[in-house]
Amino acid sequence: MAQKLKKIVIAFMLIGSANLLANNASLIDSAKNAYDKANYKEAITIYKKIIASGETSYKLHYNLANAYYKNNEIGKAIYQYQLAHKLNPSDEDVKHNLTIANKHTKDQIESKENYFAKNIESGVLHGLSTTGWAWSSIFTLCFAMLSFALFTIVIKYKKILFWLGSIATLSCIVSFTIGYIALQKIITHKNAVIIVEEVSALNAPTEDAKEQFRLHEGTKVNVLETNSNWTSIQLENGNEAWVKTKDLGLF
């Protein structure tokens, strides 16, 4: 009886999932049509509805970002581009459009970190997704094991197989290390984007706190601490303050 009930529940879940996918496919078409007709507000509403239903992908966030950008909502566009980039860090269209959107931000904050070193680090860590680095580790490990296995059998190419196995082993270690660091950054390092036109950054998480400085939409900040009402942020130059959580897009 329990097994039969379980099968019925699974069947209903599969039917529900199929209906949801079919409905979302229709909504995606509607969103594309609205976008093509320059009805960006309607496209935004539809894409948000799809994401709210539980379906998510870098493409959905990317398309929503494009609609926000066309609707001149730069902060929300950058936030959605960042979400798309987080899901697929190697996609060139996402990176290109994010770069263009960032050029429209008002705040010019000088970073304490070395610009070139930061770009090199970002390029290496985001060269592949964390899944990509994992598959790279597995592939190179298998190749190394195969090379060393053949090393004991094929006498003629012993030297070549040894070096191939050694290089593959080193590549496996490098891929695993980079993937692990990238994953840890995703887990531990939280960022946010200002999604409203302007916010007051305060010296304490209270309405009557003193204003430290003002920030404008699209500015990216580091998140130190957050709750439903207030978020402690840090700028690239090291300055810290509190802003209202509702004014941020956290990623």
Please say if the pLDDT value at position 194 is more than 50: yes
- The whole-number pLDDT of residue 115 equals 55
Q: Which of 52, 74, 102 is the last residue of a domain?
A: 102
In a domain, 109, yes or no: no
Q: Is there a single domain that holds both residue 85 and residue 12?
A: yes
- The whole-number pLDDT of residue 133 equals 87
Q: Which of 140, 173, 188 is the last residue of a domain?
A: 188
Q: Is there a single domain that holds both residue 82 and residue 131?
A: no
Q: Which of 72, 102, 132 is the last residue of a domain?
A: 102
Q: Which two tokens stand for residue 138?
A: 């597995």
Strand bridging mode 230-234 / 220-226: antiparallel
| DSSP letter assigned to residue 247 | G
Number of domains in the chain: 3
Distances (CA, A) of 52 to 20, 32, 42, 90, 182: 12, 17, 15, 25, 27
Separation CA 163–CA 219 (nearest Å): 48
Q: Is there a single domain that holds both residue 48 and residue 126?
A: no
Distances (CA, A) of 169 to 43, 147, 246: 49, 10, 47
- Lowest average pLDDT, out of 15-24, 72-81, 121-130, goes to 15-24
Q: Is there a single domain that holds both residue 59 and residue 127?
A: no
Q: What range does the domain containing 51 cover?
A: 2-102
In a domain, 108, yes or no: no
> Given pLDDT bands bounded at 50, 70 and 90, which one contains residue 17?
very low
- The whole-number pLDDT of residue 2 equals 52
Beta carbons of 215 and 201 less than 8 angstroms apart: yes
In a domain, 130, yes or no: yes
Read off the pLDDT of residues 129-153 as tens digits, 9 standing for 90 and up.
778 888 999 999 999 999 999 988 8
- The whole-number pLDDT of residue 155 equals 80
Q: What is the CATH number of the domain that holds 203?
A: 2.30.30.40
Q: Is there a single domain that holds both residue 47 and residue 66?
A: yes
Separation CA 166–CA 174 (nearest Å): 12
- DSSP bridge partners of 248: 194
Q: What angle do CA 23, 26, 32 make, to 5 degrees?
A: 140
In a domain, 138, yes or no: yes
Q: Is there a single domain that holds both residue 168 and residue 222?
A: no
CB count in 10 Å sphere of residue 44: 24
> Given pLDDT bands bounded at 50, 70 and 90, which one contains residue 20?
very low
pTM of the shown model: 0.70
